[in-house]
Amino acid sequence: GESVGLHLPTLSVQEGDNSIINCAYSNSASDYFIWYKQESGKGPQFIIDIRSNMDKRQGQRVTVLLNKTVKHLSLQIAATQPGDSAVYFCAETGSNTGKLIFGQGTTLQVKP
Partner 1 sequence: GAVVSQHPSWVICKSGTSVKIECRSLDFQATTMFWYRQFPKQSLMLMATSNEGSKATYEQGVEKDKFLINHASLTLSTLTVTSAHPEDSSFYICSARPMVGVDTLKDTQYFGPGTRLTVL
Which spans of this chain sit near partner 1 (rule: CB under 8 A)? 32, 34, 36, 41-46, 49, 51, 89, 93, 98-105
Rounded distance between C-alpha atoms, residue 29 and residue 74, angstroms? 18
Beta strands in 1-84 (DSSP E): 4-5, 10-14, 19-25, 30-38, 45-51, 56-58, 62-67, 72-77
Nearer to partner 1, 80 or 93 (CB): 93
Nearer to partner 1, 14 or 28 (CB): 28
Please state the closest distance from residue 77 (CB atom) to partner 1, in A: 18
Nearer to partner 1, 36 or 84 (CB): 36
Distance (Å) of CA 21 to CA 6, 98, 104: 8, 24, 12
Nearer to partner 1, 14 or 104 (CB): 104
* DSSP β-bridge partners for residue 69: none
Please state the closest distance from residue 81 (CB atom) to partner 1, in A: 22
Please state the closest distance from residue 48 (CB atom) to partner 1, in A: 8
